[in-house]
Amino acid sequence: QVQLVESGGGSVQAGGSLRLSCAASGTTLSDSAIGWYRQAPGKQREAVARISNSDSTNYADSAKGRFTISRDNAKNTVYLQMNSLKPEDTAVYYCWGLVRGRSYWGQGTQVTVSS
């Protein structure tokens, strides 16, 4: 059974940094496309960053230049390094994986950025 577990969320002041982790079990992340999404209160879930199984990356405009998605195959973990955080980055962040044609979601981790 594939499970994705996020960690690393928390509360920071504007301008601060956080690193989110998405650890997988039941699959090898190096074979999968993995993405980070977020959902703020009253808003739709939106894509933030994605890394393909060939390690190509893409980012939402709001994340470009501030966020970096990366993969550690030895730890079977994908990270989202978030720098220069803004209050508008406040949301629940979810890890998503496409594994053998099926989508999987983690339970989410809260990120709160105060001004």
- What DSSP element (H or E) covers 41? none
Q: What is the pLDDT of residues 86-96, one digit of tens each?
A: 999 999 999 99
Q: What is the pLDDT of residues 43-87, one digit of tens each?
A: 999 999 999 989 999 999 999 999 999 999 999 999 999 999 999
Question: CA 50, 44, 111, 103 torsion: positive or negative?
Answer: negative
Cβ density class 51-70: b for 16+ within 10 Å, e for less:
beeeeeeebeeebeeebbbe
